[in-house]
Amino acid sequence: MGLDRHGMGGLWGALATGLFATTAINRAGFNGLFYGNPQQLVIQAVAAGIAIVYAFGVTFVLAKVLDATLGLRVSDTAEEVGLDLSEHEERFQDVKDALRAIGIVGLNVAEVRGHGRQGGITLEGRAGTYRIDMLPRLQLNIALSDHNVARTIETICSAVKTGSTGDGIIFVYPVDDVIRIRTGERGKDALHYEGDLDELRAAGVIGNGKK
**CATH number (domain holding residue 136):** 3.30.70.120
pLDDT at 208 over 70: no
If you compute the radius of gyration of the chain from its CA atoms, what whole number of angstroms results?
A: 32
Q: Are residues 162 and 103 in the same domain?
A: yes
Q: Are residues 179 and 112 in the same domain?
A: yes
25-39 per-position pLDDT tens digit: 888 888 999 999 999
Answer yes or no: is 128 within a domain: yes
Q: Are residues 171 and 110 in the same domain?
A: yes
- State the total domains in the chain: 2
Q: Are residues 120 and 167 in the same domain?
A: yes
Taking the alpha carbons at both ends of the chain, their separation in whole angstroms is 59
Residue 45 and residue 18 in contact, taking contact as beta carbons nearer than 8 Å: yes
Q: Are residues 103 and 33 in the same domain?
A: no
What is the reported pLDDT for 132?
76
133-154 per-position pLDDT tens digit: 777 788 999 998 888 899 999 9
Pure H helices in 83-127: 84-101
CA distance 155 to 159: 6
pLDDT at 211 over 50: no
Residue 42 CA, distance from chain mean position: 46
pLDDT at 103 over 50: yes
Answer yes or no: is 136 within a domain: yes
Q: Which residues span the domain enclosing 28?
A: 2-69
What is the reported pLDDT for 179?
93
What is the reported pLDDT for 117?
74
